[in-house]
Each structure stands twice: as C-alpha cells, then as structure tokens.
Amino acid sequence: MFPAGPPSHSLLRLPLLQLLLLVVQAVGRGLGRASPAGGPLEDVVIERYHIPRACPREVQMGDFVRYHYNGTFEDGKKFDSRHDYGAPQEATLGANKVIEGLDTGLQGMCVGERRQLIVPPHLAHGESGARGVPGSAVLLFEVELVSREDGLPTGYLFVWHKDPPANLFEDMDLNKDGEVPPEEFSTFIKAQVSEGKGRLMPGQDPEKTIGDMFQNQDRNQDGKITVDELKLKSDEDEERVHEEL
C-alpha cells in the first residue's frame, strides 16, 4: 500500500474559539423545525421514495458515491440542484466533503434509490449559513444514488485485495535494470488493477493518483525508484511505531 500526500489537519488547526463556537452550534441544534415526534429536529429525517428490488450493498461510511440531488428550503424554494449541472455530485462519505446531514442521510442507500432528506441546520450550514443559504436553515434534499464504490482507508492511494506480490520491486522493474522509472511504475500498477489484484482511490484521475504514488516512493526525487526506496505503507507505519517505542 502506498501513502498519500501529507494529511490535512485543518480541524486540528481550528483556533479554540472556533471549536467552542462549533460546540455551541451543536448544542443549539434543531432550530426552527419540529421533528415528527414534535420535539426539535435533532437528526436527519429520511423518507425513502423508491427502493430498488436488488440492493447488493447499501452505502456505508467511507464509501465513494455519485448522486443527483435537488436542494430546497422548507418553503419549496430551490437553493441548489445537481440535476441542473449534468454530472452527478461525487463524495467520499466521512471525508469532510459534504455537510454532515448528507454524510448521514446517504448511508444505507441502494444504487437507484430515491429518498428525501430533511436536514436540520446543525447538520447543514449552522447558524451562520453559507453562500445562498441563510443562517439556521432547514434543508430538504431529494437524492438519487447513481453509484457506490468501496473507498480506501484514509491516507491510501492504492490497496491490494490480498497480499502484495512477494517480489514487488522485481515485478515492477520490467527491464531488470535495478531502477523503476514512472513508465514502469505506471504499467505495473495499471496491470495490478486490470488483473483485479488491487484498486486505486476512486474519484480521481488514475494518472494523477499513480503519479502521486510515484512521487511518494521516489524519496530522493531523482525520477526513479530504487529497491531501497520502495516501501509499503503498512511497513512504514510499523517502522514508525518502532521508532516511537
């Protein structure tokens, strides 16, 4: 497995004041709209319109999904619609790419399913709102799930389905000259994918992902990977643990 670029720590860099504000927003949840039970709307309310007969796997956290949506306010006024844009929205659930209400509300969906989500402000854009969304707005989404793929663990660009090849470097070094340039690396990874042995991170151009993987492995940035440079991410993580011990 190969590491991604440096991880984002944006949440960790939030100043304390902003963190406190987030906590305050979370406490002041469910403004405006009542839940079906009559209390404030705490969670996303889901109404399933159409459930396909066949549903081999439901969406879960970490999955990469494509979906169409129409977004309206409670008065029916439209604020956003993916149908208007042609291509579906893409997101990895739980990767901080969409509002929390969608991360939650898309879970359990089948491909081809249509559902309505009613999202309280604290799971959408909060008291402050966002562009085109006033503060404390309850949002309604009509969603249709177009596709679902397994995501990769955070920080990974590629994973093998089973164990990686025993002689990984030798396999990559196609002309056996002791060096792996980008062309050999790319050919090798694409072959692993096409033979069903591994898969790349979904939702990104494979050429870019393979390029990023190469950069990660070419540790001295001289345009080729040597046997000493090549390391699996799982081994790296293990070494790091040993260093810490």
| Tokens, residue 7 | 């991880």
> Which of 73/169 has CB closer to Ca ion?
169
> Which of 116/226 has CB closer to Ca ion?
226
> Which of 103/173 has CB closer to Ca ion?
173
> Which of 228/243 has CB closer to Ca ion?
228
Instruction: Give least dist CB 56 to Ca ion, A.
Output: 41
Instruction: Give least dist CB 235 to Ca ion, A.
Output: 17
Instruction: Give least dist CB 174 to Ca ion, A.
Output: 6
Q: How many CB atoms lie within 10 A of CB 105?
A: 23
Binding site for Ca ion (CB under 5 A): 173, 175, 177, 179, 218, 220, 222
Cα(117)–Cα(162) distance, rounded to whole angstroms? 38
> Which of 215/234 has CB closer to Ca ion?
215
Instruction: Give least dist CB 6 to Ca ion, A.
Output: 19
Instruction: Give least dist CB 236 to Ca ion, A.
Output: 16
> Which of 136/217 has CB closer to Ca ion?
217
Instruction: Give least dist CB 164 to Ca ion, A.
Output: 18
